[in-house]
Amino acid sequence: MSEAERERGQRLGAVLRRARGARSMVEVAASAAISVETLRKIETGRIPTPAFFTVAAVADAVDLPLDTLRDAVEAPPGTELPQVS
């Protein structure tokens, strides 16, 4: 796996974490039908290339449109993460 892929995975996790806001990992994981450990690994970048349907389920659970998520993840390195709600 390349450094760029690892960085993209970390950015994906950070964006999803920010979108989760005050909601607990347990609540979001249950809503996305994934384990809390899987969500934790995605948010920390330990799973840099999670399955599309897993990402889609988490994004849906935190009310984050996939277009917004894609734009945030694909932004140039060093770009500040966008505010998401």
The answer to whether residue 85 scores a pLDDT higher than 60 is: no
> What pLDDT score was predicted for residue 83?
63
Give the class (CATH, top level) of 3-70: mainly alpha
Q: What is the pLDDT of residues 18-38, one digit of tens each?
A: 999 999 999 999 999 999 999
Report the sign of the C-alpha dihedral through residues 12, 17, 19, 23, in that order.
Answer: positive
> What pLDDT score was predicted for residue 84?
63
Distance, first Cα to last Cα, the chain: 31
pLDDT (mean) for 42-46:
93
> What pLDDT score was predicted for residue 5?
85
Query: Among candidates 44, 84, 38, which has minimal Cα distance to 64?
Result: 84
- Give me the residue spans of the domains in the chain: 3-70
The answer to whether residue 1 scores a pLDDT higher than 80 is: no
